[in-house]
Structure 1
Amino acid sequence: MALFFKPQKKTVVKRKQQLTIDTLNHEGIGITRVNKKVGFVEGALPGETVLATLTQSKAKFERYTVNKVITPSPYRVQPFCVHYNVCGGCQLQHLATEQQLAEKQKAVNSLFEKFLGDAKIDLNWQSVINSQPLSYRRTARIAVFYDKNKKEYLFGYRQKGSKKIININSCQVLESCFNNIFDVFHPLLARLKTGQSITHLQLYKTEVLALIIIRHIKPLSEKDINLIALEADKNGWKIVFEGETGQYKFTDKNAAIQAVINNKSTYILHYFINEFDIKFNFSFDNFIQVNHKVNRAMLKQAIDWLNLKNDEKILDLFCGIGNFSLPMAQRVNKVIGIEGVSSSVEMAKFNAQNNQIENAKFFCQDLNEPMAKSSWFNEEYDVLVLDPSRAGAFDILSQLKLKHFSRILYVSCDPVTLARDSKLIVDAGFNISKTGLMNMFPHTGHVETMALFAKS
C-alpha cells in the first residue's frame, strides 16, 4: 500500500525589521535590499526608513508591509480616502500626485535599462498627459456579496492583497454622478427579497447618461426590480438588468440605444470625441478607456506625434472599437484595424459607417497566432500603431517585417511588456523618438505610456 504525504505549508515567521527604501518599482511598491535579497515593502516611499513586518519569504525576495514610518519622505501625504488602508483600488494615495508621476517615469527608465542593456536609449520624455485627481473614472465595477453567516451584504471592492469583498462607503475617484451610490445601495440591498442573486454593479458615465448594469445569476422579483428602478430614478441613473442568460432587461426605454449590427440586436451606448467630431458607440461587453479626458488628449497626442500624411497607410493592431483607427483615418489614405474580440470588431465597423469614414477596414484575428496567411498581413504600410493589453505585443511584433514601417506608435498599459517589446523594435533599426506618461489612473500603480519609434 502506497503512502502519500501532503507537504506542510511553510509558515512565515512575521518578524519586524527596520528598512531603508531605495526606490519604487513599476507597481508603486518600495524596493530595498534585505538579507541578501530584494525586499518589496508595500506602503513605503523612496528615502524612507520604516519598521515593517515580513509577510512572505522566497529564495530571491521577501515581502513586507509597513507598521511605522520612522523617517518619512517629504512627498508623503495623508490619503484622502478613509478606506485606503484596506481597499485594493488605489496604491499611491500616500504619495503626492506630481511625485507619483515622477516615480512612474523613473520606473519606466529602469525597465528600459534592464531590457535594452548597453543600448543606453534616451527616452526623450515629453510632458505628461495629466488627469484631474478625483472623479475621473467613468466606468467601474462594484461587487455585491451576501454573507450567509452574518446575514448581511458586502458592497464594495476587493481588499488589498485578497479576493475578499469589503464594504465601501464612498469612492472619490468615481465620476461625481455616482458619489452617493454606496449610500443608496447599502440599505437598498437589505430591502430586497431576491438580492442575494446580484453579483455586481457595472457603472458607465457618458456625456448624456449615467448607467448602472445590475448583474444577477438568478431572476429578480418584479418587486425588487421596481424598488431598484425607483431609487435609480431618484438619483438620475438609468438601470439595465443582465440576467443569468446574458439577456438584458430595461426599465426605461431611454436607458440605452438599440442598434442593429450584422442583423443582431445589440444595446449600445456612446461617447463623443469632439476634437475629431466622432461619435463612438460601444456595447456593454466592449472595452473603453476609463478616463475620458485622458483618452481625448491621448488621441490628439498620437496624431500630433505621428505627423500623419494624407497618402499614408496605417496598420492599427489591438484596435478595439476604433478608438485610434477612426481619428487617424480622417488624416490618411487608409487604416486597417485588427482586433481579437469579435464584438469589438463589429462595433468598430459600425462606428466607421456611422461616422461616414469609408477608408477604415477592420478584421477579427487573434494576434497571438501565426499571421502569415492573413490578407492584411502581407500588405504594405507606412505606420504601425499598437495598443495591446497588459500581455503586450511580442508575438505579433516577432512576425511583422518591422523595417517596412517608417514610424511605430506603441500605447502601453504595462511598462514591463513595453520595455520588453521595445527591444524588438530597436533591434529592427528604430530609435525612440518620444516617450510620455499618460495619467490614466491617478493614485494607482498603473503606468500608461506612449512611445514613438522612428526608423534610424
Structure 2
Amino acid sequence: MSAPQFDPSQYDAQLAEKKQRLHDLLAPFDAPAPQVFESPREFYRLRAEFRLWREGEDRFYAMFAAGDKHTPILLEDFPIASQRINELMPRLKAAWQGSKALGFKLFQVEFLTTLAGDGLITLCYHRPLNDEWQAAAAQLASELGVSIVGRSRGQRLVVGRDYVVEKLDVAGRTFSYRQPEGAFTQPNGTVNQHMLNWAYEALGQRSDDLLELYCGNGNFTLPLATRVRNVLATEISKTSVNAALANLEDNQVANVTLVRLSAEELTEALNDVRPFRRLQGIDLKAYEFGSVFVDPPRAGMDPDTCELTRRFDNILYISCNPETLAANIAQLNDTHRIKRCALFDQFPYTHHMESGVLLTRR
C-alpha cells in the first residue's frame, strides 16, 4: 500500500477535478450531472496495511511512495485510517516491542476495522508460530478488544474470529455484514453506506427479478434483495461466497440464490453455451429478470458479459474505474441511456474514484 498525499486543505479542489473527469468521460452519452457523495476528510479508511522497518533497535510502521520500495515513510499514526486503527497502532507497537513472542521476525501488520467498532489485526512473520506466540496473542487480543490472525509460511492461526462484523444502515434498516480477513471489503465505510443507499433508490421497488454479477460478500445484495422478487447472484471467490451466504442467513434474506461462477461463466450458461454443475437444480428460465446489477473489477466487464447486460431493461453499474465504465457504456449506448449517475469519493487524496450509473432501455 503506497502512502497518499494527505492534505485536507486540497480536498475540495481534488473532488472538483474528479467530478469534471467523470463529467468529461460520460459527456458523449448525454449523462446527467452526477450526484456527488463526499468522504470524511480524515479517519475514513477502515483497513490499512503496513510493513515494519527497522531503525537501530526500533521498528516502525512504514509505507512507501508509489514506485519506490526502498525509501520508507515511517509512521506513528495514520490520519486517513479509522480512529480505531489510530488508537490500536501505538498499543500494538508497544506490545511487539515488549514481547519477543510477538515481535520476533514480525514483518507486516494489517488492520481491519468497521464503523460498528469491530477490529481484527493480522500479524505476518518470517518464522513458524508456536504455543508461546498463541498465548501472547490471546492476551493481546483480550487487552485490545480485537481478534488476531497470525500468518507465516504454511500457517494461519486465529485468535477470536477471522472476520469483523459491520453494521450499515440502508433506507431505515440496519444490515449486518461479516467481512473476512484477507477478503475484499469496501475501504471507506461512510461512502460505502452512501453507495448502498444510492443503489437502493436507483433500482426502485420492482415486482420482477434481479441478476447480480460480482456480488462479493453480499455488500449490495442484502439491501437490493428487498427491492425485487428474487435475486440470482454470482461470485467466483470462495471466501466471498462463504461470507455472502453467512450474511444472507444472518440478515434473514431468503430470496437470493448464490452460485460460485464467474460473470463469464454465467454468461455462457445463460447463452446455453454449456451446462455448469454448480447450476444443477437452478432453473434459469424460471427467472423474470428486469434488471442486472454489476460491480466489476477495475478491468470492467468483458465484451461478452457487457453484451449480456444489454438484454435487461435496467443496468445498475457500480465502477471503481471510470475509464472502463465509459468503455462499457459505449458498447451499450445504442440500446441504453444513462438515467442517473453518481460519484462516490471512496479514495480521497488519490486519483481513484468510485462511480455509479443507472442505464435504462431507450
TM > 0.5? yes
Name the structure, 1 or 2, with higher relative contact order (CA <8 Å, separation 6+): 2
User: 2:169 — aligned with what?
Assistant: 274
Bigger share in helix? 2
Residues 145-176 of structure 1 show CA distances to partners (whole Å, capped at 9, x for unaligned) of 458xx665352222233233432122111111
Q: CA deviation at 1:281?
A: 1.7
Deviation at 1:193, TM superposition (A): 3.8
- Per the TM alignment, residue 365 of structure 1 is displaced from its structure 2 partner at its CA by 1.5
C-alpha distance 321-153 of structure 1, shift in aligned 2 (>3 A):
same
Q: Secondary structure at the match of 1:322?
A: coil
Tell whether the 8 Å contact from 2:342 to 2:356 is kept in structure 1 after alignment.
yes
Separation in structure 2 between the aligned mates of residue 246 and residue 96 of structure 1, nearest angstrom = 43
Counterpart code for 1:268: Y
Distance 1:109 1:246, change over 3 A: farther
Contact preservation (8 Å) 1:192, 1:224: no
CA offset at residue 230 of structure 1?
5.5
Provide the residue aligned with 1:329 in structure 2.
Answer: 225
Q: Is residue 92 of structure 2 the alignment partner of residue 171 of structure 1?
A: no
The one-letter amino acid paired with 2:20 is: K
Deviations 1:407-428 (A, max 9, x none): 111101111111111111213x
Contact conserved, 1:136 with 1:174, CA < 8 A, in 2? yes
Larger Rg: 1
Secondary structure in 2 aligned to 1:417? helix
Match of 1:140 in 2: 48
Q: What do the CA deviations read for 1:271-294 (whole angstroms, capped 9, x no partner)?
A: 122333321123213221111121
In structure 2, the partner of 1:157 is 63
Superposed displacement of residue 392, structure 1: 1.1
Structure 2: distance between partners of 1:205 and 1:381: 36
AA in 1 matched with 2:244: A
Residue by residue over 1:79-115, the C-alpha shift from the partner in whole angstroms, topping out at 9 and shown as x without a partner, is: xxxxxxxx932146376222221100222233346xx
Which amino acid is 1:286 matched to? A
Contact 1:435 1:451 in 2 (8 A): yes
CA distance in 2: counterparts of 1:190 and 1:346, whole angstroms: 36
Counterpart code for 1:438:
F
1:98: which partner in 2?
Answer: 12
Change (3 A) 1:388 1:121: same
Contact 2:60 / 2:76 at 8 angstroms: preserved in 1? no
Q: Which of these residues, 212, 226, 240, is aligned with residue 149 of structure 2? A: 240
Provide the alpha-carbon RMSD of the alignment.
2.8
1:283–1:232 Cα change, 3 Å? closer
Note if contact 2:43-2:81 (Cα within 8 Å) is conserved in structure 1.
Answer: yes
The structural deviation recorded for 1:440 is: 1.2
Matched, 1:212 2:121: yes
Is the CA contact (8 Å cut-off) linking 1:145 and 1:196 kept in structure 2?
Answer: no
Q: Is the 8 A contact 1:93 1:444 kept in 2?
A: no
Q: CA deviation at 1:140?
A: 1.4
AA in 2 matched with 1:163: K
Aligned partners of 1:377 and 1:144: how far apart in 2? 50
Give distance in 1, aligned partners of 2:239 and 2:119: 23
Report the Cα distance in structure 1 between the residues aligned to 2:29 and 2:290, rounded to whole angstroms: 24
1:121 aligned to which of 26, 29, 35: 29
User: Is contact 1:269–1:282 with CA below 8 Å preserved after alignment?
Assistant: yes
Aligned counterpart for 2:333 among listed residues 426, 436, 451: 426
| Deviation (angstroms), 1:177 | 1.9
Could you tell me which amino acid in structure 1 is paired with residue 83 of structure 2?
S
- Report the CA distance shift for 1:132/1:273 in structure 2 as closer, same or farther (over 3 A): same
Alignment match, 1:452: 358
Is 1:287–2:184 an aligned residue pair?
Answer: yes
SS of the residue corresponding to residue 167 of structure 2 reads: strand
* CA positional deviation for 1:455: 0.8
Tell me which amino acid in the other structure corresponds to 1:419: A
Q: Which amino acid aligns with 2:74?
A: N
Residue equivalent to 1:203: 111
**Identity over aligned pairs, percent:** 25
Contact 1:126 1:435 (C-alpha < 8 Å) held by counterparts = yes
Deviation at 1:438, TM superposition (A): 0.5
CA spacing shift, 1:123–1:381, aligned 2, 3 Å:
same
347 and 225 in structure 1: CA distance in 2 versus 1, 3 angstrom threshold: closer
Q: Please tell me whether the aligned partners of residues 79 and 86 of structure 2 are also in contact (alpha carbons under 8 angstroms).
A: yes
Scaled by the length of structure 2, the TM-score of the pair is 0.84
The alignment covers a number of residue pairs equal to: 345
**Preserved contact between residue 42 and residue 79 of structure 2 (Cα < 8 Å):** yes
> Which 5+ residue runs of structure 2 have no aligned equivalent?
none
Q: Does 1:440 align with 2:354?
A: no
Deviations 1:384-440 (A, max 9, x none): 1111111111244344151x211111101111111111111213x101111111011
Question: Which letter maps to 1:454?
Answer: T
